[in-house]
Amino acid sequence: MTIPVVHQSPRNPRAAIENRRTFDAAGVVCVNLTGAAGTGKTSLLEAILPRIRDKLRVGVITSDLATTRDAQRLAPLGVPVVQLLTDGACHLRADHVRHALAEMPLHELELLLIENVGSLVCQARNDLGEHARVALLSATGGDGAATKHPAAFATAALILLTKCDLLGHVEFDVEQTLNRLRRVNPYAEIVYTDTRKRVGIDRVAGWLLGYVRAHHVERTSRARASEPVPVPT
């Protein structure tokens, strides 16, 4: 199986706007998964893709500093996968994604999931042209993530507390974390997940399906509203 591998591209400050237009023109909803290294972004995709791929045509752009390991894990799941390599950069930029879109059969898709680089340092201020963000924090990553990277959680539509089976075994103040998350983002849905025991996986899959459906309903009604009103003759 050959997986397309794409490296960094020249800077393009308009790439986020161009990506969004490209997604909208192709009728694709784009969701950006962010989370520090080891929060389980790839594992989450491995658990979720088999649940949604029969209901939704989905593709994945995965990213890494230098390795193609994530793409190799995801490609056997039978969805189009492109591996983006940032060559050491700690986040994706919209122009990286734009570059990868050339390898993605966008017109065949309804949902494009982007697995961002494992870091939260500058993900929040890098608009990729996505429609929504999902932010992960894990029980093993410590309970400081919400305090250290508030913007990452403030801009998320869905927040996942991953590896929740380990809560109780690690130093992690759940109540304080939930309070912090609620303070920076009162609107996001928060879901506990554990990919090994399949906790929360159906809810996340359902959230994605619902999000794509709602997006299409909104687009269709917007398109209808802009149609000229027929004049009676």
- What mask of x and - would describe binding to Mg ion in positions 32 to 71, judged by CB under 5 A? ---------xx---------------------------x-
CA of 185: how far to CAs of 29, 50, 181, in Å? 22, 30, 6
Burial class (CB in 10 A: 0-12, 13-18, 19+), 160: buried
Least distance in angstroms from the C-beta of 64 to Zn ion? 13
CB of 219 to Mg ion, least distance (A): 30
Per-residue x/- mask for Mg ion, residues 181 to 200, rule CB under 5 A?
Answer: --------------------
Binding site for Zn ion (CB under 5 A): 90-91, 122
Contacts 24+ apart (CB under 8 A), 61-67: 61/97, 61/100, 61/101, 61/104, 61/112, 61/113, 61/114, 61/115, 62/114, 62/115, 63/92, 63/96, 63/114, 63/115, 63/116, 63/117, 64/117, 64/118, 65/89, 65/90, 65/117
Which of 114, 208 has the CB closer to Zn ion?
114
Q: Name the minimum Å distance from CB 47 to Mg ion.
A: 13
Binding partner at 42 among Mg ion, Zn ion, none, C-beta below 5 to 8 Å by kind: Mg ion
| Closer CB to Zn ion, 59 or 141, in the complex | 141
Q: Residue 122 binds what, of Zn ion, Mg ion, none (CB under 5 to 8 Å, by partner type)? A: Zn ion
